[in-house]
Amino acid sequence: MKTMTITGKSSLGLLLCLAGLLGFAAPQARADEEKDPPTRVARISFVEGSVSLQPGGQGDWGSAAKNRPMTIGDKIWVDKDSRAELQAGTVSIHLGSMTALSFLNLDQGITQMRLAEGSVNFRVSELREGDLYEVDAPNIAFTVKQAGAFRIDVNDNGDSARVTVIRGEGEVTAGGKTYPVHAEDLALFTATATVIYTFSLHHAPPIWMGRPRSSKGRSPFRALLGHLSPNGFPRRVGAR
């Protein structure tokens, strides 16, 4: 029977070969770790009516169950006479009827959503340096500049968007321009990103007959919101 003897030179070569393989594998393992998806997710905290979820934005839709996590690429659809609420860190997101929403980015300090149609109300309780909270619509992008409460409405054709700042500060980017929006400001943008109007409660809005009266326990700004139709757009608009 033949036997194989490993000499000193052979042993050294074998060890060097193994060391080279390990040296190649370690950086590859670190690279694989860096490709891991972000650990931060949103959570479906409330569901009422018919609400559907499409994981990854592809394939079949399924029922959106309470406490179901959502992450980048996931799409949620809130049907007629339905609503849902999402929690993502310090952000509470309320989705109204006939609303399509997805997450473009959801990482530490970054929450970027896409609103294809419908209405979202969201509250940012804290805005730290470096944080980014953004809602992208077909014709605008809204960025939070100061913590507060905000509402974005997009009509079912996706060609008109309305921004309401209940409190806080924000900025709209549309048509290559930026527009600041302050507390109690409303702004409507057309498909071509043209500003139809912006106004504040502190200035008489030209599209309504005077300023709405407030009732006990109800702010004048919320009374103003009562003049909006269910899809978030004015019930009566004056000449443009």
Secondary structure (DSSP) of the chain = -------HHHHHHHHHHHHHHHHHHHHHHHHHHHTSPPS--EEEEEEES-EEEEGGG-S--EE--TT-EE-TT-EEEE-TT-EEEEEETTEEEEE-SSEEEEEEEEETTEEEEEEEEEEEEEEES---TT-EEEEE-SS-EEEEEEEEEEEEEE-TTSS-EEEEEEEEEEEEEETTEEEEE-TTEEEEE-TT--EEEEEETTS--TTSSSPPPP-TTS-HHHHHHTTB-TTSSBSS----
The per-residue pLDDT string of the chain (240 residues; one tens digit each, 9 = 90 and over) reads 555 544 555 555 555 555 555 555 444 544 444 445 555 789 999 999 999 999 988 889 999 999 999 999 999 999 999 999 999 888 999 999 999 999 999 988 899 999 999 999 999 999 988 899 999 999 899 999 999 999 999 998 888 899 999 999 999 998 888 999 999 888 888 876 566 656 555 443 333 323 333 444 444 444 444 444 444 444 333 333
pTM of the model: 0.70
- Residue 73 in any domain: the answer is yes
Say if residue 59 is in the same domain as residue 164.
Answer: yes
Same domain flag for 132 and 17: no
Range of the domain at 57: 42-225
- Say if 2 falls within a structural domain: no
Locate tokens 């860096």: which residue? 34
Task: Looking at the structure, tell me whether residues 132 and 158 fall in a common domain.
Answer: yes
The verdict on 141 and 187 lying in the same domain is yes
3 lies in some domain: no
**Residue 14 covered by a domain:** yes
CA distance 70 to 154: 22
CA 51 – CA 235 distance, rounded (Å): 27
User: What is the pLDDT, as a whole number, of residue 14?
Assistant: 54
* pLDDT, position 40: 74
**79 & 184 share domain:** yes
In a domain, 67, yes or no: yes
One domain for residues 15 and 111: no
- CA 33, CA 39: separation in Å to the nearest integer? 12
Indicate whether 133 belongs to any domain: yes
Asked if residue 236 belongs to a domain, the reply is no
